[in-house]
Amino acid sequence: MPAEGWIAAARRVLSPNCDSRPAGSGISLALLHSISLPRGRYGGKAIEQLFTNRLDAAAHPSFAGLAGLRVSAHFLIRRGGELVQFVPLQQRAWHAGASRWRGRERCNDFSVGIELEGVDDGRFAAAQYAALVVLLRKLQAVLPLQDIAAHSDVAPGRKSDPGARFDWARFLQQLALAH
């Protein structure tokens, strides 16, 4: 694992919304999400503020339901490909909620959460796919990852991200070619 669980290429923004993984849980799953705050707006600081408990719930009408929410992810990939890391890899980020993958409950225990800046009914930028491939290759080199899944796969009916317009074929082809 990289020094102290941080990926060197990522900008660090420390989130308090994490804790210790259960002993022996291993990290076998990369879990893909999408997020934008407000929905469909890209660039601002609201995602970082949400993950660091500094989001002003009065700053936008859509933020009201986020008041007091304590969530995070290990990584955020911005539209231009910038990589931001909030939680060190050995820690459990709070991104999946009630979830199940291949018969295992509580996906936060054994996954790395990767947020793509976007919406579940929109397209993602080429720079995001490229950054995601680079990140996954780095993670595969240091973690026993066995699977890559969508948030919608581990929480069906409750979550829909990263969405039907996430180009899995493109992403998996790029990942296979990036040796």
Spans of all domains in the chain: 3-177
Distance (Å, whole) CA 103 – CA 101: 5
Please give the pLDDT value at position 2.
66
* Cα atoms found within 13 Å of the Cα of residue 2, Cβ hemisphere only: 16
113's CB contacts (< 8 A; 6+ apart) are 31, 33, 72, 73, 74, 75, 87, 93, 95, 96
> CATH number of the domain at 3-177, please?
3.40.80.10
Question: Would you name the residues annotated as active-site residues?
Answer: 115
Please give the pLDDT value at position 3.
61
Check: CB of residue 132 under 8 Å from CB of residue 171: yes
CA-to-CA separations, 148 to 52, 63, 103, 157, 171, in angstroms, rounded: 26, 29, 15, 19, 11
Average pLDDT along the chain, 179 residues, taken 10 residues at a time:
84 98 95 97 97 97 95 98 98 97 97 98 97 97 96 97 97 91
Please give the pLDDT value at position 4.
87
Please give the pLDDT value at position 178.
83
Q: What is the pTM of this model?
A: 0.97
